[in-house]
Structure 1
Amino acid sequence: MYRSGSCSEIGPKTFMEDEYICVDNLHEHLGTANGFPSPGAFYGVFDGHGGVGAASFARKNILNFIMEDLHFPDGVDRAIKNAFVKADNALADANNIDRSSGTTALTAIMLGRTMVIANAGDSRAVLGRRGRAIELSKDHKPNCTSEKLRIEKLGGVIYDGYLNGQLSVARALGDWHMKGAKGTKCPLSSEPEIQEVNLTEEDEFLIIGCDGLWDVMSSQYAVTVVRKALMMHNDPGKCSRELVCEALNRNTCDNLTVVVVCFSPDPPPRIEIPKSQKRRSISAEGLDLLKGVLNDV
């Protein structure tokens, strides 16, 4: 089963431009017995800029665009990419949304034990795996090497970390004042990067959040906070609130939106430490992290 909790705060900014969506039961949400694996769930965070219009549009429509695509559910990756393009093009045609309004988009869809993360922008998805943080998305900043090469190849420039001196992200939906004709490639891309994961018993929860969180907090710290909190109260909503409060204490400069998704009704188990190592000062989570690092070498 999937269960989630969320927290969204305006933070120190004048306007709130974040949006999010949490659907713990897709079959119940859609009101139909669609032919896709059960359980199914869907989550997303959208960090708007130039107004909340684009972010609000993405929140309301992106799930429907995915479900309506001819490739869903057999070709989930293709369906998601098509949905992002459809949402981007719809923003170009929307008369009630300013062409300078844009949004990052990060979605997570669960079908059975398969989780597919799609990201366009600098929001982030982090998996908690027995205390270790596994990043499932890449922050699309203009100065990121791969994004910088793509931008410059398409004729874009980067000034002080801003795409064409205007935008602090390299991928986003909307922002049609910076894009050319629909269907043409441009430095500001709406194409998401896709990461698919087959969840195992070691995978305990997912954190997705806008950059207001990750600007002041590492992925590993966030996972450690959530795991410890879940062991105490097993409430993903409280976990989201704790991350937001910690980011505010660390003087984040942005809106804050966090969603925590748990993969089990039970809290994470304590990590057993071999008796010969119990007197050492390293924590259980730290020991598990060290094991993971050594296994990856």
Structure 2
Amino acid sequence: MKKVSFAEFGGPDVLHLIDAEEPHPGPGQIRIAVRAAGVNPVDWRIREGQVLGAHPVRLPAGVGLDAAGVVDEVGEGVEGVAVGDHVFGEGSNTYAEFAVLSAWARMPGNMTYEEAAGYPSVTETALRVIREVGVQPGQTLLVSGASGGVGSAVLQIARDRGITVIGTAGAANQDYLRSLGALATTYGQGWVERVRQLGRVDAALDLAGSGVLPELVELTGDPHKVVSIADLGAPEFGVRFSGVAGSVPEALAEAARLISRGKLHIPVEKTYTLADAPAAHADSQAGHARGRRVIVI
């Protein structure tokens, strides 16, 4: 099969499309013929060699955590899924023609593979950080870097729970944030005062790692009311860094329920081929996303 791999840590140019042996599922796992794989910031952070609390990376290594496709092998002890089922989920080395998943759910309704591949990690992350930051219905959550995949999920899940959301993003994404139910403002000079004018902040999330943690602590009044998924220096400010949690079947089931209820939709901004994985990573690192980037096999 074809898969994307890297033999050294570095920039997008270390990614190469290679021939590799097909993987097979172990107990409690399934294998899918991959139709699409989600591109996540954690993918390029791992490629760079950043320490994110995940398992140590052994080189050469594959890339990718999220995928959607067709089940073609079922591991020992797995029930409720059969060869031929259409699923989306989390696993390893998903930038490939075949991948093993350790958590999955059936694709809702008429969703395309490209759409489905964009949900697993971002929904798990969104549900996790909303829980960790402790924001409650009736309170206000500030989301810094709100227009990407995780931000898109956070805004919609929070609003569905009765939480008011203030989102910061670039000027081009203000209407997008408002379409997801957020009070929107731009980052850049004066952004703290603009946020204050929108309301009191009870908790805050840093999704972009853009050096705003001191301001988020200032706005909430308590570093324990701030969580970052993107700034490895968070502990220096007393802020929790929430890294890679791994595969969580319950999060995928919740994602499927939200999607089926029409409460969660994350658009696909751009698609790539396997050979274009370096470009996908470069675009992801550049930021300014609106929704998700996906590799289509």
Q: Same fold (TM over 0.5)?
A: no
TM range (shorter): under 0.3
Higher RCO structure (Cα 8 Å, ≥6 apart): 1
TM-score of the two chains, using structure 1 as the length reference: 0.28
TM-score of the two chains, using structure 2 as the length reference: 0.28
